[in-house]
A and B are shown apart, each in its own frame.
Chain A
Amino acid sequence: MRVFHRTFLAMNTRFSLVIPGLDADHGESLLAETERYVRGREAVMSRFGDGLVASVNSRASEDTVEVSEPLWAILMLCRYHWNNTNGLFDIARGRMAAVAFDDRRQTVRFMAPDVFFDLGGIGKGIALKGVEMLLRQHEIENAFVSFGESSILALGEHPEGGLWRVGLAADAKMDFTLSNEALSTSGQTPGSEHIIDPQHGGWASGPELLVVASACPIEAEVLSTALYIAAPTARADILSRYDKARWRELPAGDEPNGMVP
């Protein structure tokens, strides 16, 4: 079977779109629309260059900053998940409590020095949610999207029938079967750590890799970070607020655990 596929750079990683059975003309047109959409999301969420988050970060320590609607909606979503994960999913790198949100005026103010927003833990999930809607608008039923290999969306079925099967790069036998679901991974790379534990402000230490599958790409993203940071005994409480998720972990230097629950 022919398969349309393209890969491009976005959000400092690679975005791969794979659509079985789609002809090249339709594929290129859909790719262009997808790329425009993802770059638009990047422009809102990036904390570098001309990104809206960069603009807020540069001013909110000094002043109350009015936030435009697209970014405000994302910040509210992040605040919701911050509450739901007992503060472990924190776009202010452990300092969310020091951010003053004015819901009526849609403004933010950082109430402590060195506070800034970083949407790296949710941005790809938000983009994937939008890409899912875009593909459905174009009546694409079966598609596979990988955003940096750490955020994956599998729509419909594999062309051979049945579910898409996604394993870990390090161990394909540890796999998830997906249909209309997203997969998100979290893990630290020694020397390039990026996940902060809000409970002490230092680098989080978790398993080698933690993988979450969920019908919602955003929830998959939030949960992979929160469960990575959470003590094993704290995970059940967080998961009780997310009914669509499955997860697994690859313990450091150990064999994979079984699927939970």
Chain B
Amino acid sequence: MMDGIPDIELPPRDNNRRETLKTIASAITGSALLSTLPWLSPLKAAPAGKSPSDKVRLGLIGTGSRGQYLEEHLLKTPGAEIAALCDVYPPHLQAAQQKIGKPVTHYKDYRHLLDDKSVDAVIIATPLYLHAPMCLDALAAGKHVFCEKSLALTIPECKAVARTASQSPKVFQIGHQRLFHRATLYALQQVKAGDLGPITQIRAYWHRNVNWRRPVPSPELEMLLNWRVHRKYSAGLMTELASHHLQVANWFLDSPPLACIGYGSINYWKDGRDVFDNVNVIYKYPKGVSFIYDSLSSNRFYGLELQIMGPKGTLELETAKFYAENPPPAPGIIQLINQIERGTLESVALADRSWVPDLKKDTKGTPLPEDPDHDDGTGLSMAAFVNAVRLGEKSPAMIEHAYRSGVAALMGVIAMEEGREVAWPGGYA
């Protein structure tokens, strides 16, 4: 346990999600962490029972790869019932239907799903350009909303959605699963406990060697299936990937960025796309701290990582490790300290050839605690959303996270496209 924050001892992975949620509920009830991590608050409620009144009836809008991933988590989430599906592409809709294992109502037009009074809440996992209109329509229809990141395609849309969500009595949550990721939560407490000293830089990268395209059965489906590489529908790597890391940077630095500059280009996948295949952006934060981000589509050697650095240590959140700047004492020194504290005197096993520090490439670091089911936070974020709907518990912090990360990603896009420094555009109120 760290400084007032429980490091939740989760049951081993052969237990079911209900048991895990029960453990979490009992660990965080009354805990100080709810004041700093209010979006976890819905998890303090015991998992829903099996009675119909405990169920939250969900409509899943967008049944592509991400939508089906969320669906798999929802099927394991106590209290969640997938009551309706919606997609304009029949193969995806059929695949989502098969996962449920029983027939559910399905729609081609999301507005018809919103008219369905039996649906309490919607899960939106559609292309970016649809996020704003769908979120606004869903809130207007009185539905609780979980929308995949990033918030919206433009900054004015981000403002409109955040403003509407903040004024609505309904729950609004964006798919930033790192807010629920056990290792990331632990890392935040390490930062608050001063294990790094003040954060002096955050650096993140997301490198892949893929063209980001999906096979298209017929040409008219190009925009529908490959929306990510077309600027009219997508803001590319910044909204699809960087927004995750930007959300963590905003969170750990407790501020949105003040400004950013950047360069991007299409230097490899010259296949008709009009979103950058490589992006390189530097964000300026208060206290002289920078967040340096780059993403490639033409090399995967370094993979992805988010590094939070201070004078006393480095956190690497994607691999869930902490590296202290100062080395740990030798085992013999720890033995000696324990002896003195216990009041005993024995020979300590210490003298040896001179110790040499590991280089970064071969040092092991200290692992951060991970979820036994290797949940990247998505499972818990689904459970929190379902519980929040059941309890009618809104979290303004979720809207703020969604707004800050969504806007920060778009600032980077504008900086690269227009070749200028882009300042934070202010809040959404």
* A159 to B337 Cα, complex, angstroms: 11
Q: Can you list 24 A-B contacts (CB < 8 A)?
A: A2-B341, A5-B333, A5-B337, A12-B357, A13-B356, A16-B329, A18-B336, A146-B350, A148-B355, A150-B352, A150-B355, A152-B351, A159-B340, A160-B340, A160-B344, A162-B345, A166-B332, A166-B347, A166-B351, A172-B349, A185-B351, A185-B354, A189-B353, A192-B356
Whole-angstrom distance between the Cβ of B50 and the nearest chain A Cβ? 54
Contacts of A173 in B (CB 8 A): 347
Whole-angstrom distance between the Cβ of B353 and the nearest chain A Cβ? 5
* A187 to B351 Cα, complex, angstroms: 11
Q: Which of B336, B344, B354 contacts A150 (CB 8 A)?
A: B354
Contacts of B4 in A (CB 8 A): none
Whole-angstrom distance between the Cβ of A34 and the nearest chain B Cβ? 13
Whether A149 pairs with B326 at a CB distance below 8 angstroms is: no
In B338-394, the 8 Å CB interface with A consists of: 339-341, 343-357
Q: Is B328 an interface residue (CB 8 A)?
A: yes
Whether A169 pairs with B326 at a CB distance below 8 angstroms is: no
Q: Top 9 nearest A-B pairs by Cβ distance? A: A172-B349, A150-B354, A160-B345, A169-B352, A165-B347, A175-B347, A148-B354, A167-B347, A14-B327
Given A8-B326, A169-B332, also A13-B350 (CB < 8 A):
no
Contacts of A160 in B (CB 8 A): 339-340, 343-345
Contacts of A168 in B (CB 8 A): 349-352
Q: Is B325 an interface residue (CB 8 A)?
A: yes
Q: Is B330 an interface residue (CB 8 A)?
A: yes
Whether A16 pairs with B351 at a CB distance below 8 angstroms is: no
A204-220 CB mask vs B (1 if < 8 Å, else 0) is 00000101000000000
Contacts of B333 in A (CB 8 A): 5, 7, 16, 18, 146
Q: Which of B326, B337, B351 contacts A9 (CB 8 A)?
A: B326
Given A13-B356, A14-B357, also A167-B349 (CB < 8 A):
yes
Whether B340 pairs with A185 at a CB distance below 8 angstroms is: no
* A142 to B329 Cα, complex, angstroms: 19
* A183 to B348 Cα, complex, angstroms: 13
* A167 to B333 Cα, complex, angstroms: 12
Contacts of B353 in A (CB 8 A): 149-150, 185-189, 209
Whether B351 pairs with A149 at a CB distance below 8 angstroms is: yes
Contacts of B326 in A (CB 8 A): 6-9, 14
Whether B341 pairs with A3 at a CB distance below 8 angstroms is: yes
Given A146-B333, A159-B340, also A167-B354 (CB < 8 A):
no
In A136-162, the 8 Å CB interface with B consists of: 144, 146, 148-152, 158-162
Given A1-B341, A12-B356, A160-B343, also A169-B327 (CB < 8 A):
no
Contacts of B354 in A (CB 8 A): 13, 124, 148-151, 185
Contacts of B329 in A (CB 8 A): 5, 7, 14, 16, 146
Whole-angstrom distance between the Cβ of A224 and the nearest chain B Cβ? 10
Given A1-B340, A18-B333, A165-B345, also A13-B351 (CB < 8 A):
no
Which A residues contact B (CB, under 8 angstroms)? 1-3, 5-9, 12-14, 16, 18, 20, 124, 144, 146, 148-152, 158-162, 165-173, 175-176, 183, 185-189, 192, 209, 211
Q: Which of A12, A150, A188 contacts B351 (CB 8 A)?
A: A150
Number of interface residues of B (CB under 8 A): 29
* A170 to B330 Cα, complex, angstroms: 13
Q: Which residue of B lies closest to A147 (CB)?
A: B354
Task: Apart from A160-B343, A173-B347, list 13 A-B contacts with CB within 8 A.
Answer: A2-B341, A6-B326, A8-B327, A14-B327, A146-B329, A150-B353, A165-B346, A167-B350, A169-B351, A172-B348, A186-B353, A187-B353, A209-B352
Contacts of B330 in A (CB 8 A): 14, 16, 146, 149, 169
Q: Which of B327, B347, B350 contacts A152 (CB 8 A)?
A: B350
Contacts of B343 in A (CB 8 A): 1, 159-160
Whole-angstrom distance between the Cβ of B33 and the nearest chain A Cβ? 26
Contacts of B355 in A (CB 8 A): 13-14, 148-150
Residue from A167, A171, A189 whose CB has the most chain B CB atoms within 10 Å: A167
Whole-angstrom distance between the Cβ of A47 and the nearest chain B Cβ? 16
Q: Which residue of B lies closest to A168 (CB)?
A: B351
* A229 to B326 Cα, complex, angstroms: 33
Whether B340 pairs with A149 at a CB distance below 8 angstroms is: no
Whether B357 pairs with A9 at a CB distance below 8 angstroms is: yes
Whether B350 pairs with A169 at a CB distance below 8 angstroms is: yes
Whole-angstrom distance between the Cβ of A197 and the nearest chain B Cβ? 17
Q: Which of B331, B337, B348 contacts A166 (CB 8 A)?
A: B348
Q: Which residue of B lies closest to A12 (CB)?
A: B356
* A158 to B339 Cα, complex, angstroms: 10
Given A9-B325, A13-B357, A150-B355, also A20-B350 (CB < 8 A):
no
* A149 to B326 Cα, complex, angstroms: 15
Q: Which residue of B lies closest to A194 (CB)?
A: B354
